[in-house]
Amino acid sequence: MIKVNTNEIPESVASSPKGKYGRANRDVSIALGRKPGSSDAMERHPFDVQICRIPAGKSRCPYHLHTAQWEFFHVISGTGSIRHSEGTTRIEPGDAFLFKPLEPHQLINDSAGDLVVYIIADNPVGEACHYPDSKKWAIVVPEGPILGSDQYDYFHGEE
């Protein structure tokens, strides 16, 4: 058995160049031995677990959909909204929601404090993502996402 204390997992902080997007992740699955660069199912784990803290006024990432991945979210603290194909919905502690493949979504912290959510994804191999606002596609391989062209970075057309 492998055991970790999530309070002791360091946060990995990421921000977009212009600051519209920002997050701090505690990668629980990686702390439990997941090897994200591996295509071996025993090393990848069948699901990925993160504790994500989104600072006030930021979105976790651009509005997007997955072609194969399911994502489950559980709000631990703070408030915000989730953008989805039918509009936006307010979220608060205790709310849980699920996005299946092909359902676009975006977590937004439009409050004055941090928004903290658990995220569990089923971690499929051979995943692609579409970004409706910028019309980009990304192919997700164990080594990391590959955007449709070398001329685009992840945030191209998003800020």
pLDDT at 27: 97
Whether 19 maps to a domain, the answer reads yes
Residue 142 lies in a domain: no
Chain centroid offset of residue 33 CA:
19
Q: How many domains does the chain have?
A: 1
Is 44 part of a structural domain of the chain?
yes
Residue 2, in any domain of the structure: no
The alpha helices in 110-154, defined as continuous H runs, are none
- Does some domain include residue 30? yes
Does position 150 have pLDDT exceeding 70, yes or no? no
Which residue from 59, 65, 60, 42 is spatially nearest to 119, judged by alpha carbons?
A: 60
Share of the chain above pLDDT 90, in %: 72
In a domain, 138, yes or no: no
Compute the mean pLDDT over every residue in the chain, rounded to the nearest whole number: 91
How many CB atoms are closer than 10 A to CB 18? 9
Tell me the average pLDDT across 87-108: 98
- Identify whether 149 is part of a domain: no
pLDDT at site 138? 83
38: CATH: 2.60.120.10
Q: Does a structural domain hold residue 133?
A: no
Per-residue model confidence (pLDDT) at position 140: 74
pLDDT value for 142: 66
Task: Give the residue numbers spanning the domain of 57.
Answer: 11-126
**Strand, helix or coil at 41?**
helix
> Which residues are CB-neighbours of 154 under 8 A, at least 6 positions away?
138, 145, 147
pTM here is 0.89
